[in-house]
């Protein structure tokens, strides 16, 4: 609070002070008139002058006493300090300010205690979810192994197709659990990454191999086109998750399209100060009105509502992780023709350069 603001807040006191001075002088003048004594104008002016000096000194001294309090408050407001900044408010300015600080500190401690309680509850929930997801991945792996063994036996074609359908659904379940696990981990992203040079095409090949059953069952053909095998700085685990989400979406919305020309084409090239990975499918595409919202959380769009397979979280997590990694992602799509996703790795501009 500046002095002029402080003064304006106390203008009513100053006005009443001068009214009081005026009334005192008026009474003295009436007394002189009654006693038929001569009025001395200079004394009246002198009295008003003294009153002005005293009220100015009073206001100035009071402001100087409280100036440090106002300075700390102003600094907190201008710099958007955290709640703990209230402990910087000086003590013993006056009883009124001490009461205000005591109330703020009490509210802050109550807030911290409540927040700490919910932090503990949230951590318990996160730990439970993590353990549950890991426990569910084990029986899924066992079921998939059993299906693989059964498929190798002499069984009729219908049974084999049934096993393949079950295996595809198990892959979906496994992918869903994996996404849930990464959604839990993203909150602690800064503590869960490793800076390294990664071979993006190697990651792409691993993801394609992990999704081979989905490609085969749905007659979708992956194709990698690349002139060079350039490495980029990033986190291998998170990049694998991102590429897996995009390829899973490509499979999901390509398999429902009628026709035989079903492809997922991966291209990888370098230009100027960046390396670009594109993943293009020949699926049903994304309606133009939905393109601007595909990265919003829980947004499923027209395709998600039509085919009932979208959670609306895959691309949201992908965009969130891409931003944290210091890369860039964009989507182009034409309804009925297909979708192309670009991931851009900038040379020398990744946040990882700051971490090394």
- Which of 30, 62, 81 corresponds to the end of one domain? 81
- The helix (run of H) or strand (run of E) holding residue 113 is helix 95-151
Q: Find tokens 């749905």 and name the residue.
A: 218
The tens-digit pLDDT sequence of the chain (356 residues) is: 677 777 777 788 888 888 888 888 888 778 777 877 776 778 778 878 888 888 888 888 888 888 887 777 777 777 777 777 777 777 877 787 788 888 888 988 998 899 999 989 888 888 888 888 888 888 888 888 888 787 777 778 788 788 878 887 888 788 888 888 888 888 777 777 787 889 999 999 999 998 888 898 888 999 999 867 788 989 999 999 999 999 999 998 998 888 788 999 999 998 888 999 999 999 999 998 999 899 998 888 888 777 766 777 889 999 999 998 889 999 999 998 999 999 999 987 655 454 44
- Residue at 185 is within a domain: no
- DSSP for residue 1: -
The CA dihedral of 327, 331, 202, 216, to the nearest 10 degrees, is 160
User: Exposed, middle or buried by CB within 10 Å (0-12, 13-18, 19+), for 87?
Assistant: exposed
- DSSP for residue 91: S
The dihedrals phi and psi of 163, each to the nearest 5 degrees, come to -60, -40
- Residue at 320 is within a domain: yes
What stretches of 186-235 show up as alpha helix (H) in DSSP?
200-210, 212-217
Q: How many domains does the chain fold into?
A: 2
pLDDT of residue 1: 62
Of the candidates 312, 295, 324, 356, the one whose C-alpha atom is nearest the C-alpha of residue 186 is 324
Domain range for 342: 193-355
- Residue at 128 is within a domain: no
- Residue at 246 is within a domain: yes
Alpha-carbon distance values, 171 to 43, 153, 208, 261 (Å):
100, 21, 13, 23
CA-to-CA distance for 312 and 320, rounded, in angstroms? 13
pLDDT of residue 242: 94
pTM: 0.66
Contact 306, 354 (CB under 8 A): no
SS3 label, residue 228 = coil
The reply to whether 203 and 351 lie within a common domain is yes
- Residue at 184 is within a domain: no
SS3 label, residue 274 = strand
pLDDT of residue 351: 56
Of the candidates 188, 193, 300, 172, the one whose C-alpha atom is nearest the C-alpha of residue 239 is 193
CA-to-CA distance for 78 and 2, rounded, in angstroms? 13
CA-to-CA distance for 68 and 204, rounded, in angstroms? 61
Burial letters 263-299, b for 16+ CB under 10 A, else e: ebbbbbeeeeebbebbbbbbbbbbeeebbeebbeeeb
Q: Which two tokens stand for residue 71?
A: 């300075």
Question: What is the separation, in whole angstroms, between the first and last Cα of the chain?
Answer: 44
Contact 25, 47 (CB under 8 A): yes
- Which of 81, 104, 138 corresponds to the end of one domain? 81
Q: Which two tokens stand for residue 244?
A: 């897996």
CA-to-CA distance for 340 and 277, rounded, in angstroms? 10
pLDDT of residue 216: 87
Enumerate the β-bridge partners of residue 266. Answer: 224, 279
The reply to whether 343 and 202 lie within a common domain is yes
CA-to-CA distance for 163 and 150, rounded, in angstroms? 8
Q: What is the DSSP string of 138-152?
A: HHHHHHHHHHHHHHT
Contact 234, 352 (CB under 8 A): yes
pLDDT of residue 85: 77
Contact 303, 336 (CB under 8 A): no
**CATH code: domain of residue 265:** 3.30.565.10
- Which of 21, 55, 81 corresponds to the end of one domain? 81
The reply to whether 328 and 198 lie within a common domain is yes
- Residue at 288 is within a domain: yes
- Residue at 171 is within a domain: no
CA-to-CA distance for 247 and 241, rounded, in angstroms? 10
- Residue at 302 is within a domain: yes
């Amino acid at each position: 609070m500046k002095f002029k603001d402080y003064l304006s807040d106390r203008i009513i006191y100053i006005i009443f002070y001068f009214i009081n001075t005026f009334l005192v002088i008026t009474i003295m003048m009436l007394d002189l008139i009654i006693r038929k004594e001569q009025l001395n104008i200079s004394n009246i002016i002198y009295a008003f002058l003294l009153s002005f000096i005293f009220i100015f000194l009073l206001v100035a001294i009071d402001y100087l006493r409280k100036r440090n309090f106002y300075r700390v408050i102003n600094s907190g407001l201008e710099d958007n300090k955290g709640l703990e900044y209230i402990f910087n408010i000086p003590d013993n300015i006056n009883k009124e300010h001490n009461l205000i600080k005591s109330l703020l500190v009490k509210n802050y401690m109550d807030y911290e205690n409540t927040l700490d309680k919910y932090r503990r509850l949230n951590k318990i929930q996160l730990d439970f979810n993590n353990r549950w997801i890991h426990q569910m991945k084990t029986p899924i792996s066992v079921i998939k192994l059993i299906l693989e063994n059964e498929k190798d036996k002499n069984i009729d074609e219908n049974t084999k197709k049934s096993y393949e359908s079950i295996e595809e659904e198990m892959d979906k379940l496994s992918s869903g659990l994996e996404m849930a696990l990464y959604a839990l981990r993203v909150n602690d992203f800064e503590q869960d990454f490793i800076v390294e040079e990664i071979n993006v095409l190697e990651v792409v090949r691993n993801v394609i191999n992990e999704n081979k059953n989905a490609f085969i069952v749905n007659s979708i053909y992956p194709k990698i086109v690349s002139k060079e095998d350039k490495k980029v700085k990033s986190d291998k685990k998170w990049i694998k998750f991102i590429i897996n989400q995009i390829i899973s979406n490509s499979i999901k919305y390509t398999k429902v399209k009628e026709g035989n020309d079903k492809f997922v084409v991966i291209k990888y090239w370098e230009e100027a100060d960046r390396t670009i990975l594109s993943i293009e499918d020949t699926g049903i595409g994304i309606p133009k009105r939905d393109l601007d919202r595909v990265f919003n959380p829980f947004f499923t769009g027209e395709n998600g509502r039509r085919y009932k397979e979208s959670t609306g979280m895959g691309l949201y997590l992908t965009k969130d992780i891409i931003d944290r990694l210091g890369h860039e992602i964009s989507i182009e799509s034409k309804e009925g023709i297909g979708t192309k996703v670009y991931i851009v790795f900038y040379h020398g501009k990744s946040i990882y350069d700051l971490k090394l």
